[in-house]
Amino acid sequence: MSLERLLDISGLHADQKRRASSLSGGQRRRLAFAQSLAGNPELLLLDEPTIGMDIEARGRFWDTIQALASDGRTVLLTTHHLDEADAVADHIAVVARGQVVAEGTPERLKAQTALRTVSFRAANAPAEQEWLTLPGVEKAECNGERIRLYAQETDVLLFTLMQSEWGISDIDIQSASLEDTFLSLTGTHKPTIIR
């Protein structure tokens, strides 16, 4: 890869005459990434690559990673930034205590292991423990009139909520995040109420 292209990727045009030791942490991460691309590798191994990068640099980094993958390169990434992994990975392996505990596409992992959330207001809310008796509810969070229920399947739950006399309004349904999936795979989930 040409020096010009590497400077474009790293966003270090203005700093190309500076010593690496005088660069900020984020600039050094970008420099290290550019150096890893200098030999035009078929396989790229990256450990927590976006730490210290600003928003612009992070966006440029992920655009480059996606272009490399589209070009047939293999990119192996280790990260704790699960939202980034969810956005760009086509295959994820979840590692806990040195063992692979699950692997697959982000969508498959989330669908199999994590709970969806149904958040709403309840003008006439029942006692807190009653939320856990609803169909499929595994966890409930109560904050005044705002309730958040966690369940694998939400269709029957929604029907039950809408048929109740609890004054349900302002409903928001969200799919599980990769972070939820990671916690489910590596921790324990017991029915609980969080206040």
CB-neighbour burial class of residue 182 (10 A; exposed 0-12, middle 13-18, buried 19+): buried
What is this structure's pTM?
0.64
- Residue ending a domain, choose from 31, 61, 79: 79
Query: Which residues, at least 6 apart from 80, have a Cβ–Cβ distance to it below 8 Å?
Result: 48
CATH code, domain with 57: 3.40.50.300
Q: Which amino acid is at 60?
A: R
Domain residues for the domain of 24 are 3-79
- Interval 15-45: pLDDT, tens: 888 998 998 888 888 888 889 999 889 999 9
Q: What is the pLDDT of residue 145?
A: 78
Q: Do 17 and 73 fall into the same domain?
A: yes
